[in-house]
């Protein structure tokens, strides 16, 4: 596979490496039940973060889709005065670590293929770094990545380009040698701000028409990456 011009791929995590709905709907049920045993209270909390407790589905505009744990905590704090924002972040991260991860595609063979092609690989997520590493460990894929950063890793959060610049610095690659892959406009805006090529995937909640204006290509999932990368120059 000739990867002329592309030497690195930086992945978002939730909705990209892992299917968003199949992973985070289970997290939301467990998380909200832990915070609010009373159903009516749980419904109010769910509404605040864009989660329908009855259907167990997120709305595309949910703060959970692309927000950091701190942003989710800030939304919930007004409904949970007994918790500090810091305590809520701790609960969010603890529940996130335990969330079952549903791979968007079988990750090991895909990542093996990309590494065999000589690509540097990274993860840039608005999740915290600790649960992000736990999720990658659960999937048995941590060893494939040269760089893993969360919103709390010291590089900022997306849509800012800090994590993306840090990946470039860590690998010694120029931004135009890197492809940013994500399921949200936060990911694609970050990629554009960093001067990278951008791939949008549909394993999150954003539809193709929302992502397309900000991406070089839209794919159903990351399984389409090898064929597309082989055509880049």
Are 117 and 44 members of one domain? Answer: no
Pairwise CA distance, residues 7 & 172, whole Å = 10
Domain-located, residue 174: yes
Burial class (CB in 10 A: 0-12, 13-18, 19+), 44: middle
Domain-located, residue 3: no
The CATH number given to whatever domain includes residue 196 is: 3.40.50.1000
Are 168 and 207 members of one domain? Answer: yes
Residue where a domain stops, chosen among 98, 122, 148: 98
Domain-located, residue 79: yes
Are 113 and 155 members of one domain? Answer: yes
153-173 residue pLDDT tens:
999 999 999 999 999 999 999
C-beta of residue 87 within 8 angstroms of C-beta of residue 70? no
Cis peptide before 50 (omega within 30 of 0): no
Are 153 and 186 members of one domain? Answer: yes
- Residue ranges making up the domain that contains 26: 21-98
Residue where a domain stops, chosen among 77, 98, 119: 98
Are 207 and 127 members of one domain? Answer: yes
C-beta of residue 157 within 8 angstroms of C-beta of residue 149? no
Residue where a domain stops, chosen among 98, 132, 150: 98
Whole-model pTM? 0.91
Q: Average pLDDT in the 127-149 region?
A: 96
Tokens standing for residue 89 = 């972040």
Task: Quote the pLDDT of residue 10.
Answer: 98
Neighbours of 209 (CB within 10 A): 8
Pairwise CA distance, residues 140 & 144, whole Å = 9
180-228 residue pLDDT tens:
999 999 999 999 999 999 999 999 999 999 999 999 999 999 999 999 9
Are 13 and 112 members of one domain? Answer: yes
Are 59 and 151 members of one domain? Answer: no
Q: How many domains does the chain have?
A: 2
CA dihedral 99, 100, 106, 107 (to 10 degrees): 30
């Amino acid at each position: 596979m000739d990867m002329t011009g592309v030497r690195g791929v930086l992945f978002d995590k939730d909705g990209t490496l892992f299917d968003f709905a199949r992973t985070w709907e289970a997290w939301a049920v467990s998380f909200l039940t832990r915070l609010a045993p009373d159903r009516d209270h749980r419904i109010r909390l769910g509404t605040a973060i864009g989660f329908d407790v009855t259907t167990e589905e997120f709305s595309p505009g949910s703060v959970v889709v692309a927000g950091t744990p701190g942003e989710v905590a800030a939304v919930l704090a007004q409904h949970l005065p007994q918790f500090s924002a810091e305590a809520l972040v701790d609960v969010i991260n603890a529940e996130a670590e335990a969330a079952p991860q549903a791979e968007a595609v079988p990750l090991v063979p895909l990542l093996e293929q990309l590494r065999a092609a000589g690509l540097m690989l990274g993860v840039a997520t608005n999740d915290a770094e600790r649960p992000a590493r736990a999720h990658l460990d659960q999937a048995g894929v941590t060893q494939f990545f040269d760089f893993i950063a969360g919103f709390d890793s010291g590089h900022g959060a997306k849509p800012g380009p800090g994590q993306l610049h840090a990946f470039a610095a860590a690998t010694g690659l120029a931004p135009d040698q890197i492809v940013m892959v994500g399921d949200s406009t936060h990911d694609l805006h970050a990629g554009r701000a960093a001067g990278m090529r951008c791939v949008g995937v549909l394993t999150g909640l954003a539809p193709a028409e929302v992502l397309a204006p900000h991406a070089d290509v839209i794919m159903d999932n990351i399984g389409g990456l090898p064929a597309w990368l082989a055509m880049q120059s």
